[in-house]
């Protein structure tokens, strides 16, 4: 009974604004749902994204929480998929075919629609734990995070895409994946101790970055244990 009560309290709540949008940088005015608070040109090149190993294909965001939504059911998913930075405004999106993010993407592709994606970095560590936990299919990671910390996660709507993210994260990368567009991703020095080969993955296009005034960029260096484990 106590767990049932905790689960009720864990349901995410919506807020109009949050720390993650204290500073706003937007790149596509046609998709705005509110006005930017600043007019600076922050891009992926300005973030301290690491190239971890000498033969890596580039810099990789290694600790992102990738938020997607099923366009038919509205079900949310949060997963951790590495992102190779290609340039100021695009990255790879390393979701393998068996991942829920890829399944959501397939539905968008079949509909011929751009897939909205929001990537959060930082915030309560429980978000990353929930995103990587082997949860039953369909169980909301944000609900699970609220249950674990016994406090509902406050969610704020993104500025350029129709998705909600935790209001207290450090950074939010907003954008979309275009149906049918792929690009070579890798090599990447993986936890096996070997480089994964170059393979084609979807491309993430950045439409905006929001962040806290005092934002901290967390990351992990993947490699032979003991490393991220």
Active-site hit among 6, 28, 124, 190: 190
Among 78, 86, 160, residue whose Cα is nearest residue 127: 78
Q: Tell me how far apart the alpha carbons of residues 154 and 144 are, in angstroms, rounded to a whole number.
A: 13
- To the query of whether residue 190 is one of the catalytic residues in this protein, the response is yes
Q: How are beta strands 13-15 and 154-157 bridged, if at all?
A: parallel
∠ Cα 82 70 24 (to 5°): 60
| CA count, 13 A, side-chain hemisphere, 124 | 20
List the alpha helices (DSSP H) in the chain: 2-10, 100-111, 125-132, 141-149
Residue 46, CA distances (Å) to 85, 88, 89, 132 in order: 12, 8, 11, 27
- The residues with which 210 forms a beta bridge, in sequence order, are 24, 172
* Catalytically active residues, by annotation: 190
């Amino acid at each position: 009974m106590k767990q049932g009560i905790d689960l009720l309290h864990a349901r995410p709540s919506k807020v109009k604004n949050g720390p993650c949008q204290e500073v706003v940088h937007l790149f596509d005015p046609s998709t705005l749902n509110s006005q930017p608070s600043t007019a600076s040109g922050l891009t992926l090149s300005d973030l301290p994204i690491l190239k971890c190993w000498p033969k890596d294909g580039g810099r990789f965001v290694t600790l992102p929480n990738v938020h997607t939504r099923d366009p038919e059911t509205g079900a949310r998913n949060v997963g951790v998929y590495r992102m190779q930075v290609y340039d100021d405004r695009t990255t790879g999106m390393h979701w393998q075919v068996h991942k829920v993010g890829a399944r959501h993407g397939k539905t968008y592709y079949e509909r011929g629609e751009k897939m909205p994606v929001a990537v959060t970095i930082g915030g309560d560590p429980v978000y990353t734990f929930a995103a990587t936990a082997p949860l039953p299919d369909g169980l909301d990671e944000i609900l699970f995070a609220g249950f674990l910390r016994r406090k509902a996660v406050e969610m704020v709507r993104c500025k350029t895409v129709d998705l909600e993210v935790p209001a207290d994260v450090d950074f939010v990368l907003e954008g979309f994946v275009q149906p049918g567009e792929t690009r070579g991703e890798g090599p990447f020095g993986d936890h096996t101790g070997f480089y994964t080969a170059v393979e084609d993955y979807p491309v993430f296009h950045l439409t905006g970055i929001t962040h806290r005034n005092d934002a901290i960029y967390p990351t992990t260096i993947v490699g032979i244990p003991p490393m991220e484990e």
